[in-house]
Amino acid sequence: KGLTKADWPKVWRHHDLKPRYDVVIIGGGLHGLATAYYLAAYHGVRNIAVLDKGYLGGGGSGRNTAIVRSNYLTPEGVRFYDRSLKLYENLASELNFNVMFSQRGHLTLAHNDGGLRTMRWRAEVNKVQGVDSEVIGPEEIKKLVPSMDTSAQARYPILGALYHPPGGIIRHDAVVWGYARAAAGLGVHLHQETEVTGIDVRHGRVTGVRTTRGDIATGTVVNCTAGWATLISEMAGVEMPVTTSPLQAAVTEPVKPFLDTVVVSGTLHVYVSQTDRGELVFGASVDPFTSYSVRGSLEFVEGLASNVLKLMPGLSKMRLLRQWAGLCDMTPDYSPIMGPTSVEGFFVDVGWGTYGFKAGPVAGEAMAECISTGRTPQIIAHFGLDRFRSGRLVGEKGAAAVGH
C-alpha cells in the first residue's frame, strides 16, 4: 500500500491565538518567517506570532521569479544583497531543507552605449566590494547562452553584458517552507488566515494587534508585508512613501535543459531562466500603474513573447502554461525601508520593489538583531525611513533587472 497524505507528519502545527506574544510579525512570507527564525534561533526570543491573512508564502514570496544576485549599483546595496547571497549559499544546511540553490551565473545584457556604461559602473562597484562581476562581450555571451541571437543583425544587438557568476535561482517555495519549519520547530506560532484589522498605540508606543481571530497584547510589532505595507503602517499611524504596482510573470511548458544561466535584458524588459523541471520562467517590468491586482493580462504576454523572441528566436514554438502577478511596493529610491519607526515598538521591513526575494535571509537576520538589541545593525543603517526627510537616498534604480 502506498503512502497517503495522513502518513506525512505535519511540518507546522495550528495553534490557538495566545492573548500575548513578545513579538508579532505581520506577513507570513519569506521576510516575516526569516525574521521569526533568526529571532528564535540566534536571540532566544521564542514567544513570537507570525500572522498572515492568507497562507504562508502566498504573496511575493511565492510569486517572484526565484532570482538571487548581489550585483547592485550602490555600495550599500551590494554589501547588503551579498550578505543575503552568502546566507542563501548556506541555507540548506542552516535549515536542514533542500532549497535547490543553483548558482548558475547571471547575465544582464547591454544593447546600447548607455547600458554598457551602467554595466561597467556596476562591475567596478561590485569588485570594490569583493563581489564577482565583470563585463563580457558578445562572443563570451554566445558561449554561455548558445540559443541567444548575438549577431549584429539582431533587432537590438547585444554589445556586452554584466556577468555575475554567483547569481542564480533557488526554489522559492522551499525557502519559505524551510524557514517556516525551522521557526515552528523553535516554538514560533504561525497563524495563517489571520488578518490584522488594527494596531493599538498608546502614548507613542505599540500595545497590541487586533485580528479577525481576536486581540493580542504585545510591545513589538513588525510590518513584513508586501502589497499592504502602507495599509499596515497606517494602522500604527506611520506614513510610508510607497506605491504599489503589479509585476507580471509567466512560465512555459517544460523542455529539455538548454539554458543554464539567468538572462536579463533591461532594454527588452524581460528576464528568463530555466527551472530544474525544464520550464522557462519569464518576468518583466512592473506594470506602469498602481494596482492591487494579481491577475495576468494578454497585453503582457504579447509584449513578453515579442521581446523574448528578439533575444532567442528559437523559442517561437514554445507554449506558455501559466501567468500570474505579484505586488511590488516601490519607494522613491528603489531601496527598502527597514528598522524602527517614530512609534516605539513598531518596526518595518517593507518597500522591496522587485528586490524582496533576494533580500529575505539578510533582512530576517538584520531585523532580528535590530528588534532584540534595540540597535540598528550597520548593514541596514542606510535604509531607515528618516532618509526621506534627510535626503540621504540610496538610489538603486540602476540595478533593477529591467526598467521601471
Residues making contact with ligand PYC (CB under 6 A): 65, 67, 69, 271, 283, 354-355, 400-401
- Are the C-beta atoms of 404 and 287 separated by less than 8 Å? no
Comparison of 33 and 67: residue with beta carbon closer to ligand PYC: 67
Comparison of 238 and 401: residue with beta carbon closer to ligand PYC: 401
For the residues of 243-274, what is the DSSP string, one character each?
EEEEEEEEEE--------SEEEETTTTEEEEE
Comparison of 182 and 247: residue with beta carbon closer to ligand PYC: 247
SS (H, E, C) 140-163: HHHHHCCCCCCCCCCCCCCCEEEE
- Are the C-beta atoms of 67 and 358 separated by less than 8 Å? yes
Q: Which of 23, 359, 36, 10 is nearest to 179 (CA)?
A: 36
Comparison of 24 and 247: residue with beta carbon closer to ligand PYC: 247
Comparison of 141 and 400: residue with beta carbon closer to ligand PYC: 400
Minimum separation from the CB atom of position 71 to ligand PYC (A): 9
Comparison of 12 and 357: residue with beta carbon closer to ligand PYC: 357
Comparison of 168 and 208: residue with beta carbon closer to ligand PYC: 168
Length of the chain (residues): 404
Minimum separation from the CB atom of position 69 to ligand PYC (A): 6
Minimum separation from the CB atom of position 358 to ligand PYC (A): 7
Q: What does the alpha-carbon distance between residue 279 and residue 319 come to, in Å, rounded to a whole number?
A: 10
What phi, psi does 174 have (nearest 5°)? -65, -35
Comparison of 177 and 355: residue with beta carbon closer to ligand PYC: 355
The four Cα atoms 8, 278, 91, 247 give a dihedral, to 10 degrees, of: -100
Minimum separation from the CB atom of position 354 to ligand PYC (A): 3
Q: What does the alpha-carbon distance between residue 350 and residue 32 come to, in Å, rounded to a whole number?
A: 10
Minimum separation from the CB atom of position 400 to ligand PYC (A): 6
Minimum separation from the CB atom of position 60 to ligand PYC (A): 10
Helical packing angle, 356-373 and 172-185, nearest 10°: 20
Q: What does the alpha-carbon distance between residue 30 and residue 57 come to, in Å, rounded to a whole number?
A: 7
The four Cα atoms 196, 202, 208, 211 give a dihedral, to 10 degrees, of: -30
Minimum separation from the CB atom of position 401 to ligand PYC (A): 3
- Are the C-beta atoms of 105 and 168 separated by less than 8 Å? yes
Minimum separation from the CB atom of position 341 to ligand PYC (A): 26
Grid coordinates of 400: 533593477
Comparison of 56 and 73: residue with beta carbon closer to ligand PYC: 73
Amino acid at 257: P
Minimum separation from the CB atom of position 392 to ligand PYC (A): 23
Collapsing DSSP to helix, strand or coil, 290 comes out as: coil
- CB atoms closer than 10 angstroms to residue 75: 14
